[in-house]
Structure 1
Amino acid sequence: MVNKFHIDQQTLKDIHIAASIDGSVFGIFDQTVTEGGQQILRNLFYSPLGEVDLIEQRHAKIKRLIPFININFSFDRLGLKDLQLYISNHHTEGVIVFNFLNLFRLNTPEYFYKKRHIIEVCEVLIKTRAFVMQCLAQTEDLVMLTIRDKIEKCLQNFFKSQLYKISMLKVNTFNIDYYDRMIRKYLAEDLIDIFNFIYEVDAYLSIAKVAVHQSFCFPSVYSKGQSGSIEIKGLYHIFHKSPVKNDVLMTKSKKIWFLTGANMAGKSTIIKTISIAVYLTHIGFPVPAYSLKTDVLDGLFTSVNLFDDIELGYSHFYSEAIRLKTILDQLDKKSNALIILDELFKGTNHNDASQAILEVIKYLSEIDGPSVIISSHITDLYQDLKSMPSIEFIKLDIEKDVNGLPIFTYKVTKGVAEERLGMWLLNKSGVFDSCKRLIS
């Protein structure tokens, strides 16, 4: 049975995989120059994989194009789409007969568009041939050899020599119907193959460029249960221009992270960073890190950006409870999915939240399978949780300057955060000054 990687729409929304006001992870990788390439990239991006060999096959397709990222690969985005429609509109049968009445169509829209399409098809063939020949000069690639032969076959129908220049292409009223029929009938299948080649190269070349220019790594992925761990070196958030890099290690024996940190310490950022890395790993894309090693997971589920549901009459706390149930109901008993819960049960009072978190963690610690990251401000739970062997206490480290003021390092380390910065942040924001202005 094929193993699948499960993810739901809430998770995709939580970690900005799809478009959002903060940008999207897809947008980082989308450097495509054609609509067809963008569509292939989108299909890859929203098709996570649950098998090691499929992930490695996708790696291979991306790595194959890395040597060619600096070779010119530019096409008219709308022009290609128009040409594909022209080629796909198959030529009807009929004998081509010239008569002098044909001379009168020289200024008709039909003649103009037909001539333009013929010339543009040849331009695409010449441009694609140039790219393929430069690639083949570096390495012998069977796919590119096949495409080169198809391009040569097509071009030889328009040019008498192998000196392929548009200036040497003479399209006129005497041959325009012949060329039109050649393209839309006899060469249509080869031309569609060539266009599909352009689109696929466009998609994978886009990923390859990002991998090289941003120094992303290709994860090492193992079969389910082989290592029982997620190990990431030098992980950073894909949206940050000057990111802080962190090392992450989750093991089977320490499968639950209890993550603490003061306001603005970076808890939400690190959990989104880990989530994005796991997702990219399972679509076979490179990851913003020095290295990543993990077993293939069953899925990724997050609870980060939840709100009250007025229509259903759900409070924030009840929405959190329903979200957690929804996540758990998507797992089977042998699942090794990663579950991430940000500020769990923040929609209720301190005592209720403490009791609820403690009970949930007790149950999760008894489930043999999923890894869990729970971020929380409720640090006094440490006393109740420290006896549970499966829990790793992780905090976002904060240092102090010479004046005793906090320095946010955004680095994860073992331990429980003890800093209390709420009042300091309120003072820093100027909210009390605004209150005083209204009083005076």
Structure 2
Amino acid sequence: MSFIADKQTLDDLSLLGKYNANSIFSLFNQVKTRGAEKLLDTMFLHPLTDADQINARSAAFRYFGDQPIPFPFEEQLLGSTEAFLDEGSNSNFPLALWQISRKKLAALLVKDDAYELQLQGIANCVQLLKGFTTLLGQLEKEGRDKNTPWEKWVAGARSIVRDKRLQNINDERSLLQTARLHYLLAHVFQDKLKALLALTYEIEVYITVSGIAKAKGFSYAKALPKEKNVLAAKGVKHPGLDKAVPNTLSFNGNSNVLFLTGANMAGKSTLMKATGIMVYLAHMGFPVAAQELEFSVLDGIYSSVNVPDDLNRGYSHFYAEVLRVKKVAEEVDADKHLFVIFDELFKGTNVKDAYDATLAVTAAFTAFRDCFFIISTHIFEVGDALKTEGDHIQFEFLPTIMEGTVPKYTYTLQKGITTDRQGMIIIENEGILDML
């Protein structure tokens, strides 16, 4: 089963986007090779839903964080070798010999460069094999070849560089030797070499991501089976903010809804996005911007932060919000374990309707104990009505401290419901009314 996160959620949390400098993908995309970038993209598109797989990947990142090494291969060499292998070779040696002979003859007669390109491809592959051999010996000497994330890579490298058919490769080769080597590399060992390249890209991702985690002070989450039905996080921050204020959050089957209040600019949206990003990255097995995180595996995450209207369909902003709530309600009602974020429910309608709808929807969601919800609103009066619904709702707020007429924000959660409203103060401080 795939982890669920639709386009709205991915956009709300700015998770994807190679060309978006502010995306979470870009934060981790400091790899040097195209192969590693493709793998990183795949990891972002397909979070995991198995606790053991998540913990295994986290352990691999942690290993390289504890034992940092620079990535030992050049991007150009890996890329050219991959291109050489993709071309392949004939399925039998006589045909391979005939093909390379034709290319050499064409090079002599009509100055065709195909033969030189073939020789360069072989040379690049041989050079990379020498690098593999050196690294393999180093890993074996240091005892990293067993019971470490290097183990699969080591096994793959051994099966190639220690094969008798690839021993004693000289730089000077006859046409027959060149054809034989091309046949071995691009046909006989093609699949093994491609698999080893894939493992090499995986190692690069481990090295790069763990280095970023160490530099930024991220930690690694512990995944639990779905039936545990808990999520406990300490020191949650937004990974894109270097000076973010940490907060602590906790959910379980008996306390599955967080009702969040606070004035404009108090930090509600940032906190909710930070939590959603943390949940998503945790299911990838990636480091998270938190001091600690322990969580039960979920089926997916849904958010409603920046719901756009749809002029083509004639949907107003409010109707788009209603459809988003309907979509989430259908998924929740399908017995899925989900993390749900609603930032300012029903802000596209009048205060009375927004009050009634927020109250009804929030109260209804408390019944789905296998799902966790964060619901924010400016309509703090809803919180007072929700207190009669039982103990399944947590009430927390982000406070505002007034210094004269200037609001200051702590960005630190407190228990309870705030009545802070500083909208008009901010408007007056900006001198808008004086302009008018």
* TM-score bucket (shorter structure): 0.7 to 0.9
Answer with 132-141 or 262-271: which moved more. Answer: 132-141
Answer with 290-299 or 100-109: which moved more. Answer: 100-109
Query: C-alpha separation between the residues in 2 aligned to 1:400 and 1:154?
Result: 74
Task: State the Cα deviation string for residues 289-324 of structure 1 (Å, max 9, x = none).
Answer: 110012212321111111221122111111111100
Query: C-alpha separation between the residues in 2 aligned to 1:26 and 1:287?
Result: 13
Per the TM alignment, residue 5 of structure 1 is displaced from its structure 2 partner at its CA by 3.4
Task: State the Cα deviation string for residues 265-287 of structure 1 (Å, max 9, x = none).
Answer: 11100000010111111122121
- The match for 2:396 is 394
Task: State the Cα deviation string for residues 28-50 of structure 1 (Å, max 9, x = none).
Answer: 22222222222222222221222
Query: C-alpha separation between the residues in 2 aligned to 1:408 and 1:104?
Result: 76
- The match for 1:186 is 188
| Partner SS for 2:248 | strand
Per the TM alignment, residue 433 of structure 1 is displaced from its structure 2 partner at its CA by 4.2
Q: 1:102 to 1:392 in 2, by over 3 A?
A: closer
Query: C-alpha separation between the residues in 1 aligned to 2:21 and 2:398?
Result: 23
Q: 1:132 to 1:69 in 2, by over 3 A?
A: farther
Residue 286 in 1 paired to residue 290 in 2?
no
Task: Pick from 221, 224, 230 the counterpart of residue 223 of structure 2.
Answer: 221
Residue 89 in 1 paired to residue 98 in 2?
no
- The match for 2:155 is 146
| Partner SS for 2:419 | coil
- The match for 1:40 is 39
Query: C-alpha separation between the residues in 1 aligned to 2:394 and 2:295?
Result: 18
Residue 270 in 1 paired to residue 271 in 2?
yes
Per the TM alignment, residue 114 of structure 1 is displaced from its structure 2 partner at its CA by 1.5
- The answer (yes or no) to whether the contact 1:309–1:319 under 8 Å persists in 2 is yes
Query: C-alpha separation between the residues in 2 aligned to 1:53 and 1:232?
Result: 19
User: Aligned-residue CA RMSD in angstroms?
Assistant: 2.8
| Partner SS for 1:288 | coil
Query: C-alpha separation between the residues in 2 aligned to 1:360 and 1:375?
Result: 12
Answer with 202-211 or 370-379: which moved more. Answer: 202-211
| Partner SS for 2:269 | helix
| Partner SS for 2:226 | coil
Residue 363 in 1 paired to residue 364 in 2?
yes
- The match for 1:204 is 206
Residues matched between the structures, number: 423
Query: C-alpha separation between the residues in 1 aligned to 2:107 and 2:11?
Result: 60
| Partner SS for 1:247 | strand
| Partner SS for 1:410 | coil
- The answer (yes or no) to whether the contact 1:397–1:409 under 8 Å persists in 2 is yes
| Partner SS for 1:248 | strand
Q: Which has a greater percent of helix?
A: 2
| Partner SS for 1:355 | helix
| Partner SS for 1:340 | strand
Task: State the Cα deviation string for residues 115-154 of structure 1 (Å, max 9, x = none).
Answer: 2112211222223333444444432333243234235336
Query: C-alpha separation between the residues in 2 aligned to 1:66 and 1:134?
Result: 19
The TM-score with structure 1 as length reference comes to 0.87
| Partner SS for 1:348 | coil
Query: C-alpha separation between the residues in 2 aligned to 1:87 and 1:380?
Result: 66
Q: Which amino acid aligns with 1:204?
A: Y
- The match for 1:17 is 15
Superposition pairs for residues 70-81 of structure 1, below 5 Å? Answer: 70-77=69-76, 80-81=78-79
Q: Which amino acid aligns with 1:127?
A: G
Residue 60 in 1 paired to residue 69 in 2?
no
- The match for 1:130 is 134
Task: State the Cα deviation string for residues 304-363 of structure 1 (Å, max 9, x = none).
Answer: 111221122111111111100011112345433121100100001111111111111222
Per the TM alignment, residue 82 of structure 1 is displaced from its structure 2 partner at its CA by 3.8
- The match for 1:315 is 316
Q: 1:133 to 1:67 in 2, by over 3 A?
A: farther
Per the TM alignment, residue 106 of structure 1 is displaced from its structure 2 partner at its CA by 10
- The answer (yes or no) to whether the contact 2:58–2:220 under 8 Å persists in 1 is yes
| Partner SS for 1:411 | coil
- The match for 1:117 is 121
Identity fraction in percent: 27
Answer with 90-99 or 235-244: which moved more. Answer: 90-99
| Partner SS for 2:340 | strand
Per the TM alignment, residue 11 of structure 1 is displaced from its structure 2 partner at its CA by 1.0
Q: Which amino acid aligns with 1:146?
A: A
